[in-house]
Amino acid sequence: MLSASPAVSPRVRLLLWVAVVWTFCLLMLGAWVRLHDAGLGCPDWPGCYGHLTVPEAPHEIAKASAQFGGTVEPAKGWKEMIHRYAAGGLGLLVLALTVALLRKRTPHSAPVWLVLAPPLVILLQALLGMWTVTLKLMPVVVTAHLMGGMSMLALLTALAARSTLAPMALPAETRSVAWLALALVAVQIVLGGWVSTNYAGLACDGFPACRGSFAPAPGLLDALRPDRALGLTADGNPLTIDHLAAIHWLHRCGALLVTLLVLALVLRLWRDARPFALALLAALVLQVALGVANVELSLPLPLAVAHNGGAALLLLTLITLLARLRRPKEIHGYANAGRAFALR
């Protein structure tokens, strides 16, 4: 297949997709840490109880407990620190890729903003990781941290697809539906993050009804307010099961809209881009099945983590499709660039 960026070396192409896979795994790891209730396994940042590793010796634990207060749990601390080490490694890889791509730019390379965006998101993610700890898992901060990870996945996928995959053309109406599907999936990921960071995954028993009703539980607006701490309303009162059920109910409504729109996109892609149609359909079916299974099986940890991965997979598929789209004139220009590069 014709490369969209002939100047990109095979090694850089490989590392771009390594970065995509690394980010996907990091998202899964972050979900695993959060669902293990290990997000505060280290009460400080970037180290853990003032160390680059987790204190485990009895005298280290005693000192950490005296200095930071509370119970020191090395198992939770290691979960959090492994996540931080993995994030740091991704940051170094993204920095190296940014330098390599900026040095080898051509008129048909990815735009400068797309090359520079990933390291900027890495910096923002570091700040959000720090605030997640210092603000005691405040839902809006943790959700923003999740969205930062998903944004990193989207940016790196777009960068890898533009730099390594051949461009393609689709009818204007299909492109519009694809962009709308991406916007709706992004909103749904935010809603899913809000469910997860408020620990509302079990608030709705039964499916498809939520607690025996299709109507929203009371307190939805209070539950959606960003200016509140974990487990509390903005007024400082404890969240009730109604608040949590309202959050979960909204996420289910979003899932229904995403399902309908992605199915409409699949039908449009069936003739012109059948591999993408099949990939989108598979990702959608997997994600819906995982969502239902999490409710029916009371949110087992492996399925809960996999549900985060399903959302990332659906996002990755849509971004890969959209990153390859070009107008016919642009595709002709890329083809000429590829032939010229091959003759050098």
Which single residue is written with the structure tokens 């007024």?
Answer: 235
Three-state DSSP at 48 gives strand
Supply the Cα-derived Rg of the chain in whole angstroms: 22
Q: Are 81 and 42 in contact (CB under 8 A)?
A: yes
Q: What rounded mean pLDDT belongs to the chain?
A: 90
The catalytically annotated residue of 80, 173, 296, 330 is 80
The 10s digit of each residue's pLDDT in 181-231 is: 999 999 999 999 999 999 999 999 889 999 989 999 899 999 999 999 999
The 10s digit of each residue's pLDDT in 265-320 is: 999 999 999 999 999 999 999 999 999 999 999 999 999 999 999 999 999 999 99
- At 39 the pLDDT is 84
Which single residue is written with the structure tokens 């940890």?
Answer: 301
Q: What is the pTM of this model?
A: 0.89
DSSP 230-251: TTB-TTSPBPPHHHHHHHHHHH
Alpha helices in 198-240 (DSSP H): 220-224
- At 6 the pLDDT is 53
Dihedral angle of Cα 7, 13, 16, 18, to the nearest 10 degrees: -170
- At 222 the pLDDT is 93
Closest CA to 253 of 283, 282, 215: 215
What are the phi and psi torsion angles at 210 (to 5°)? Answer: -105, 110
Q: Report the run of H or E that residue 191 belongs to, with start and end.
A: helix 172-197
Give residue 7's pLDDT band: very low, low, confident or very high (50, 70, 90).
low
- At 225 the pLDDT is 95
- At 3 the pLDDT is 45
Which phi-psi region, left, alpha or beta, contains residue 72 (left: φ > 0; alpha: ψ -120 to 50)? beta
Report how far apart the first and last C-alpha atoms of the chain are (Å, whole number). 18
Q: Please say if 296 is a catalytic residue.
A: no
- Using the CB atoms, write b or e for 8-27: b if 16+ within 10 Å: beeebbebbeebbebbbebb
Nearest-angstrom CA–CA distance, 72 and 224: 32
Nearest-angstrom CA–CA distance, 143 and 191: 9
Angle at 177 between CA 3 and CA 188, to 5 degrees: 100
Q: Is the peptide bond between 208 and the residue preceding it cis, with omega within 30 degrees of 0?
A: yes
Distances 207 to 275, 300, 302 between C-alpha atoms, Å: 32, 16, 20
